Amino acid sequence: MKMQLAALAALSSLALPLAAHAATWNTLTGEAPIVVAHRGASGYLPEETLGSYELAIKLGADYIEPDVQMTKDGHLVAMHDTTLTRTTDVAALFEPRNGTYNVKDFTLAEIKTLTVKPTGALSRPDSTYPGFTPSMPDPYKVPTLDEVLVFLNAQNAANGTSVGIYPEAKAPFDAEKEAKIIASLKSNGFDTAADKVILQSFAHQSIINLTSLLETNGMEAEVAQLGSVRLEDGIYGVNGSDGFRTLDQIASVATGVGVSYGGITQSFIQAAHGLGLKVHAYTFRPLSEDEAFAMIQPMLNWGLDGFFTDYTDFGRTVVDAQHPAPVPLPAAAPLLLAGLGGLALLRRRKAA
């Protein structure tokens, strides 16, 4: 009851100037670090599906992340792996092709017959989450990138929110796939900075190409080089799928880096910020709030600009526990009191 009253009191403060509630952060921009739903709410529901993305949004994601692969007939689908084996029931429906089940060997029509299975550590075999019912039919089919973007537009329009999209062009470099990613974003209205798009890839050549494609198409978006932190001859950089690039080199074509959290140090974040680069960490998989605080809090103190997590609710809890907490959009009010994965504004922090 006390938490509900606190949430209602916080909601009433929305009438006050937002500046009075602005949080002070150590991030590059001074804004709150972003919580990125890694493949959706993948710790709870089948990853890279509309149902998983919907739950992640309800749990407080700032961005949802689809990995992008291309089918045999040239369609873009949300799928992390190059094969369909780990996350779908493909082996029960099809014989192997070329000895395996590569996404690129199946048509979109064939992939649409598959069902995505839950694989997260806290998922249930029946693909359910307490108190949550997906709003769409067949929520655990493999969606196309277009379908993810249409869904996100509808969610934002219905709820007055501005959840962003953080698609990954899977390595290796593929000019055709990347051109189609840009075309899909543009055709679905994700073409200005206000649309909150961050493009990412482990391949540096893809980063260069995506940046060029944005300019050619008159679009605005952030671009992040993925990889692991590396210190070479006293110079920080990122080791991606096609080699090491210094932060200076990355800053010439990108706006940020997405790096494995195990290698992040405060000095790395400071070096990146000094070049105008945001730092996002991947992938936090805490199985409790206590674990989430232990894993994420130190890096927020250093100035981390955002992070990927399979558990949006735990990540949201850590960010919202900072003082003062950010003020949400009025349209988010119903979720604050719903109790789905905790309050979206004032979440409990376990007593020490």
Tell me the per-residue pLDDT of 147-198, one tens digit each, with 9 for 90 and over: 999 999 999 999 999 999 999 999 999 999 999 999 999 999 999 999 999 9
- Mean pLDDT confidence for 218-236: 97
Q: Which of 80, 204, 273, 280 is catalytic?
A: 80
296, amino acid identity:
I
Kindly name the residue from 21, 38, 75, 273 that is annotated as catalytic.
Answer: 38
Q: What confidence score (pLDDT) does residue 285 get? A: 98
What are the tens digits of pLDDT across the range 57-108? 999 999 999 999 999 999 999 999 999 999 999 999 999 999 999 999 999 9
Closest CA to 49 of 85, 101, 86, 88: 88
pLDDT digits (tens, 9 = 90+) for 289-348: 999 999 999 999 999 999 999 999 999 999 999 865 444 444 333 433 343 333 333 333
**% of the chain with per-residue pLDDT over 70:** 85
pLDDT on residue 326: 46
Q: Report how far residue 337's alpha carbon sits from residue 177's, in angstroms, rounded to the nearest whole number.
A: 42
Strands 63-65 and 235-240, by their bridges, are unpaired
Single pTM value for the model: 0.86
pLDDT interval class at 22 (50, 70, 90) = very low
Phi-psi bin for 123: left (phi > 0), alpha (psi -120 to 50), beta?
beta
Q: Is pLDDT of 287 > 50?
A: yes
Q: What was the pLDDT predicted at 324?
A: 52
Is the confidence at residue 141, as pLDDT, over 50?
A: yes
Is it the case that residue 9 has pLDDT exceeding 60? no
d(CA 346, CA 336): 8
Buried-exposed string 203-214: b where 16+ CB fall within 10 A, e elsewhere: bbbbbbbbbebb
Angle at 201 between CA 315 and CA 289, to 5 degrees: 10
Per the annotation, the verdict on 38 as an active-site residue is yes
Q: Any idea what the Cα angle at residue 248 is, between residues 163 and 182, rounded to 5°?
A: 40
- Say whether 273 is catalytic: no
What pLDDT is recorded for position 24? 79
Per the prediction, the chain carries an average pLDDT of 88
CA 68/CA 206 separation, integer angstroms: 13
pLDDT given at position 322: 86
